[in-house]
Amino acid sequence: MELQSLSMLVEILDAGNLSEAARRLKMSRANVSYHLNQFERAVGQQLVRRTTRRIEPTEIGLRLYEHGRQIRNELEAARETVTTLGQTLQGRVRLSVPSGYGQLVMAPWLIDFKRAYPGIVLDVVFENRVVDLMRDEVDIAVRVMTDPPDNLVARDMGPVRYVACATPGYVQAQGMPATLEDLSRAPLITSAVVGRQLRLAAYLEGERHEVPLSPTLTSENFLFLREAIVAGLGVGLVPDYVVQDLVSRGEMLTALDNWKLSIFGTQMYMLYMPNRHHTRAASTFIDFMLDKARDGR
C-alpha cells in the first residue's frame, strides 16, 4: 500500500468531495478520481460512497482514513521536531468553541496560550453547532453535552450549570419564578436550536424533570442574551458563567437555586479524534486548556 494513496484518501475525506480535494491537491478532479479508483482496485474494496453532495467513507475506508491521519500526524510531529529544535514551539491548532463559553471563559485562556507559545498559529471558530471533526478540518472542539460520542476522545472540562436569573428591577415589578412551571410561563431569554422544541431538564434529589419552554427571545450570541437580561426584558436561563460577575455584585438575582438546570447538557468536553499521535502544538494546547479548566472549577 503506497503512502501517497493513503494520504490522498485522507485529503479526499477531509475535503468532503472530489472537487474540493482537487483544489487542495492542485490536481484536476479527473486525476483525483482516477487515483482513488486505482487505490480501491489495489485494496480490492470500495473505500468511499459517492453521493450528489458529499463523499462518505465505507467501514474499511474510515479505518484507512484513521490510519492515514495517524501517519500524517506522526510525520508532522517529526517535521516539528526537526524545525523547532532549539527554537520556540511552532505549528497550527484548529479549534471550534461555543460562542458564549469561548468568549466569556476561554478567551483569556487562549490569549495566555498565545503569549506563552507565540510560534503556534491558533485558528479559532466560535460556533454552537455540532462539529464533524473529520469533515470540518477541526483538530479540537469544545462542546457542552451530556453523553459525548463514542468515536471521539472526550476530556472533561467541568460541569455546566444553568441559572434562572433576572435584574432586581424586573423581580420587583414582575416577581421571580418559584417553580419550574412558573419558569416555563415566564418571558424567557435563552439560547435555542432552530427547528427544535426547547426543553429544560431539571434535577432535584436524584429525580429528573423535563419542562417545555417557549422563550420570548433566543439567540446563539450569549453576550447579546446577557445584555437583554440586564435590560430587564425577562428572565434569563443561561449558563452561570454568563452572569456570575453580576450575581456576585448583587446586580442579578437567581431563582430555583436548589435545582440543577440544563438545556443542552451537563458537562463541557474537549473533543478530538482518537489518534494516538498529535502534533506537539496540539498536545501542548490540550494540556494547557485542561489545566486552565481545572484551575477554574
> Is the pLDDT at 184 greater than 60, yes or no?
yes
Same-domain status, 137 and 9: no
The answer to whether residue 17 is domain-embedded is: yes
Same-domain status, 189 and 253: yes
What is the CATH classification number for the domain harbouring 132?
Answer: 3.40.190.10
Same-domain status, 118 and 166: no
Determine the distance from the C-alpha atom of residue 10 to the mean position of all C-alpha atoms in its chain, rounded to a whole number. Answer: 22
Residue type, 145: M
If you average pLDDT over residues 210-224, what whole number do you get?
A: 90
Distance CA 103, CA 140 (A): 16
Sequence-separated (6 or more) residues with CB below 8 Å from residue 157: 142, 267, 268, 269, 270, 289, 290, 293
If you average pLDDT over residues 135-143, what whole number do you get?
A: 80
To which residue does cell 436561563 refer?
Answer: 237
Same-domain status, 182 and 252: yes
The answer to whether residue 77 is domain-embedded is: no
Same-domain status, 238 and 275: no
pLDDT digits (tens, 9 = 90+) for 223-237: 999 999 999 999 999
Same-domain status, 276 and 255: no
The answer to whether residue 170 is domain-embedded is: yes
> Is the pLDDT at 174 greater than 90, yes or no?
yes
Q: Express as a percent the part of the chain with pLDDT over 90.
A: 41
Contact 85, 154 (CB under 8 A): no
Maximal C-alpha separation, the chain: 74
The answer to whether residue 222 is domain-embedded is: yes
Same-domain status, 93 and 140: yes
Would you place residue 193 in the very low, low, confident or very high pLDDT band (cuts 50, 70, 90)? low
Same-domain status, 289 and 150: yes
The answer to whether residue 283 is domain-embedded is: yes
The answer to whether residue 79 is domain-embedded is: no
Domain boundary at 42, 71, 100, which?
Answer: 71
Same-domain status, 150 and 273: yes
pLDDT digits (tens, 9 = 90+) for 85-97: 545 678 889 999 9
Rg (CA), the chain: 23
pLDDT digits (tens, 9 = 90+) for 70-84: 777 777 766 666 655
Record the cell numbers describing residue 295, joined without a space.
484551575
The answer to whether residue 152 is domain-embedded is: yes
Same-domain status, 151 and 168: no
pLDDT at 194: 60
Record the cell numbers describing residue 90, joined without a space.
511552532
Average per-residue pLDDT for the chain: 85
pLDDT at 72: 75
Same-domain status, 9 and 59: yes
Domain boundary at 26, 45, 71, which?
Answer: 71
If you average pLDDT over residues 134-138, what whole number do you get?
A: 64
What is the CATH classification number for the domain harbouring 254?
Answer: 3.40.190.290
If you average pLDDT over residues 215-227, what whole number do you get?
A: 92
pLDDT at 297: 55
DSSP states of 262-295:
ESS-SEEEEEE---S---HHHHHHHHHHHHHHHH
pLDDT at 80: 62
CA atoms within 13 A of residue 50's CA, in its CB half-sphere: 8
Domain boundary at 17, 42, 71, which?
Answer: 71
Same-domain status, 177 and 108: no
Q: Which of 53-62, 202-211, 231-240 has the lowest mean pLDDT?
A: 53-62
pLDDT at 83: 59
pLDDT at 121: 92
What is the CATH classification number for the domain harbouring 62?
Answer: 1.10.10.10
The answer to whether residue 44 is domain-embedded is: yes
Would you place residue 23 in the very low, low, confident or very high pLDDT band (cuts 50, 70, 90)? confident
Question: Number of structural domains, the chain?
Answer: 3
DSSP states of the chain:
--HHHHHHHHHHHHHSSHHHHHHHHTS-HHHHHHHHHHHHHHHTS--EEE-SS-EEE-HHHHHHHHHHHHHHHHHHHHHHHHHTTTS---EEEEEEE-HHHIIIIIHHHHHHHHHH-TTEEEEEEE--SPP-TTTTT-SEEEEEESS--TTSEEEEEEE--EEEEE-HHHHHHH----SHHHHHHS-EEE---TTS--EEEEEETTEEEEEE---SEE-S-HHHHHHHHHTTSSEEEEEHHHHHHHHHTTSSEEE-TTSEEESS-SEEEEEE---S---HHHHHHHHHHHHHHHHH-
Range of 22's domain? 3-71
